[in-house]
Chains A and B, each alone.
Chain A
């Protein structure tokens, strides 16, 4: 299997932790709330899913519990940021640190243990095409992730619900005077973000690399946050950004396996360096950010 085939076959799976977490954060940010605790919610989702799969052997239950755990943590964040009007940055950081601590605590006696991953579901004939065929042979979560991307894209663009969420993020006071419950809508969006972060962590720990190691999320939650900015809050671009990062992390593996003589620490830093560079390029386009950005993002709303 050459490097290109390898990257094409695996990039969607590698993209899932980024994609699921970023889609959730996208919705939260579209409603005007920035949750910096993604990394911690992913870490908790990862450990809960790993423990469930390890003990009960079912991924469905693992994902369900991981999603609930992520949502529960995001509920604490929402309570701080929305009900108690705490600083969103500080509240997000607090949840992030708490989540990473809980993850390390629960996972302590499972270090280096493994669980079984998920089987691939292939689309007949398409998956037999040389080179690109691997793209059509993915596990169930990848297929559901693609479906979720399409659904969120369509919901934000074409449905009334999407319009209301965007309105709440753009101008909460106006949305409220139209009779929409701003705080309740923000609560829902933030909790959806927590749910998705939980799924993202579950995928990372029980499907993509079904092995427990403390700190295994390794900054992917932060990259997901950056992806939302790269994508200038557009669903399609979140998807392409996530796949790009998936491909980069696989290319890194392929390079190492292929004996490319590059320092392993440099390779490990690559996603972070790329994030910094892309962030600089996208953010410097102030007009783009202003047009696509969310006007009330991160600001405390007082009804």
Chain B
């Protein structure tokens, strides 16, 4: 404390662009150092972990393609969430919206396993988006009409979604030939996404995520509605004065966020998984919150942060195999990265000024 209290934060007249770029990098370096210390304390070979986590995912095309695959849902979800976060609508329930998207998409191959045709996977994606958006209707209604915090309601909806998924997989949607595993039937060929790059598992959802990123960027930079959402977040009174309804911002944010998360969920079951299973809910919805903040709630920033978090996921898997690092270490890394980032971006808005008059030992 004494070190800090010798300094004072003084607000900059305008946010520093240079620091805005340097802060995330500084935070990343600090996080890497902190976590390597943790691995050392756990008795791991820190150098080997570092190599497995942050170098290996990038050196071979096959592992980098897995990074791209992992990046897709994170990018999709985070772009949707950031729209809400910018408007002060804190949707932390993307995990549940993602699960509902997966469930809605799976309904077609589960109910119509014989169906064929090129229309199936696009319809599944659409259904997934709708499922995610529907799951976000409750928190939107609760916030707009009942004045309830969307933070708590979206989270509760996620916990319910996990139970709903479990119910379907041990009950009506369980594969009768699946040796009692909690999973659905394998989807037929036409109910899986076309591959984008031959020889890898990267599918068309990556293109979708990039299109959504572009749309989010245009939406934020150019469109009037994006402007409304930004104003609604920064100054509710000013936006009310300008005639922008706060409730519209809430509805739009949650429906778009839910749709994007649902789309990601659909792409996950119709993509790498090829069936509905418990592990579809593996925390993308929570990791995407980190991705969104880490990207500075900016669509282009989110492109980079989703890539980084995806590298960490694949690298974490590598480190689990090669250095016996528990998977939970990835979550610790993600959490500490956000902590370091939040600390670092203070310097974008404030300058550290040394207090000279005080003499401290």
Contact = CB atoms under 8 A, between A and B. Distances in A.
Interface of A: 36, 40, 76, 79-80, 83-87, 89-91, 93-102, 104-105, 108, 214, 218-219, 222, 225-226, 229, 263, 265-266, 268-269, 272-273, 275-276, 279-281, 283-284, 286, 289, 302
Given A80-B343, A265-B163, A283-B142, 20 more contacts: A80-B339, A84-B343, A85-B350, A94-B335, A97-B289, A98-B336, A98-B338, A100-B335, A104-B326, A105-B326, A214-B328, A226-B156, A263-B171, A266-B167, A269-B160, A279-B148, A280-B146, A283-B146, A283-B149, A289-B147
Contact of A105 (B160, B328, B346): B328
A105 B149 contact: no
Contacts of B11: 302
5 closest cross-chain pairs (CB), A and B: A98-B335, A101-B331, A104-B328, A101-B332, A94-B338
B163 A269 contact: yes
B164 interface: yes
A280 B141 CA distance: 10
A275 B332 CA distance: 29
Contact of B148 (A90, A222, A263, A280): A280
A273 B330 CA distance: 31
A251 to B, nearest CB: 17
Nearest to B38: A105
B323 interface: no
24 contacts: A80-B342, A83-B4, A85-B346, A90-B342, A91-B342, A93-B289, A94-B339, A97-B331, A97-B335, A102-B332, A104-B328, A219-B159, A263-B167, A263-B171, A265-B167, A266-B167, A269-B159, A272-B159, A276-B138, A279-B152, A280-B146, A283-B146, A283-B147, A284-B146
B121 interface: no
A59 to B, nearest CB: 25
A284 B163 contact: no
A202 B346 CA distance: 34
B151 interface: yes
B183 to A, nearest CB: 16
B152 A229 contact: yes
Interface string B310-341: 00000000000000001111111111101100
Contacts of A83: 4
A86 B345 contact: yes
Contacts of B152: 222, 225-226, 229, 275, 279
B145 A89 contact: no
B214 interface: no
A26 B122 CA distance: 48
B250 to A, nearest CB: 14
Given A90-B293, A229-B152, A97 B326 contact: no
A284 B147 contact: yes
B155 interface: yes
B332 A98 contact: yes
A99 to B, nearest CB: 7
- Most B CB contacts (10 A, CB to CB) among A36, A85, A222, A272 go to A272
B159 A84 contact: no
A96 B330 CA distance: 14
Contacts of B289: 93, 97
A222 B167 contact: no
B155 A100 contact: no
A284 B145 CA distance: 7
Nearest to B5: A83
Interface of B: 4, 9, 11, 90, 92, 138, 142, 145-149, 151-153, 155-157, 159-160, 163-164, 166-167, 171, 286, 289-290, 293, 326-336, 338-339, 342-343, 345-346, 349-350
A40 B331 CA distance: 12
Nearest to A285: B147
Contact of B160 (A98, A218, A272): A272
Contacts of B333: 101
Contact of B290 (A91, A95, A97, A269): A97
A97 B337 CA distance: 10
A274 B339 CA distance: 32
A227 to B, nearest CB: 10
Given A98-B336, A222-B152, A265-B164, A279 B142 contact: yes
A279 B159 contact: no
Contact of B334 (A87, A101, A214, A265): A101
A85 B326 contact: no
A280 B329 contact: no
A302 B345 CA distance: 16
B332 A273 contact: no
A273 B147 CA distance: 17
Contact of A98 (B146, B148, B163, B339): B339
A97 B146 CA distance: 28
A96 B9 CA distance: 26
Contacts of A273: 156, 160
A99 B156 CA distance: 19
A229 B146 CA distance: 13
Given A97-B334, A105-B328, A272-B160, A229 B155 contact: no
Contacts of B164: 265, 269
B173 to A, nearest CB: 13
A222 B346 contact: no
B31 to A, nearest CB: 11
A98 B350 CA distance: 25
